[in-house]
Structure 1
Amino acid sequence: MASFSPVDLQQALSGAGYPANGEQLADCARENGAARELTQELEQHKQEQFDGPAEVSKAIFRDQ
């Protein structure tokens, strides 16, 4: 189970431009001071293209 919440994820992605892949979103999250676990989770989705924050949340939390 993730040690971060959907709210943490959305705060980490503040200012992200879409469409974006997981690697780009991980970079944005790092710039926003996100926890390492959160950025690593985003990097695991580097091959996926996301059109908005709702898609990111679904991908990150679908297995929770």
Structure 2
Amino acid sequence: MTDPSPIDIQKALGGIDYPVSKENLVKHAEGSGADSSVMETLNNLPDRQYDSPTDVNKEASK
């Protein structure tokens, strides 16, 4: 499976308020119908608070 682009991740997280926990990132993406590659990436993020979309993308690209 290919990694989702930062744009795909942010589309799935559209409208979310930061800062946000990993748990709420995953719930929001699930509710927005994110595809499996986005969900896998978000589920694999470290369990911490994310302060911005850039923060999420930086961690997702590691």
Give the TM-score, by structure 1 length.
Answer: 0.81
Deviation for aligned residue 1:45:
2.2
Task: Provide runs of 4+ in structure 1 moved above 6 Å.
Answer: none
**Aligned-CA RMSD value:** 1.4
User: Any stretches of 5+ residues in structure 1 without a counterpart?
Assistant: none
Deviation for aligned residue 1:30:
1.1
What is the match of residue 26 of structure 2? 26
The percent of aligned pairs where both chains have the same amino acid is 33
Alignment check: 8 A CA contact 1:23 1:46 kept: no
> What amino acid sits opposite 1:12 in the alignment?
A
Deviation for aligned residue 1:46:
5.2
Q: Distance in 1 between matches of 2:19 and 2:35?
A: 23
Alignment check: 8 A CA contact 1:20 1:50 kept: yes
What is the match of residue 5 of structure 2? 5
Alignment check: 8 A CA contact 1:13 1:28 kept: yes
What is the match of residue 51 of structure 1? 51
Alignment check: 8 A CA contact 1:23 1:42 kept: no
Greater Cα offset, 9-18 or 30-39: 30-39
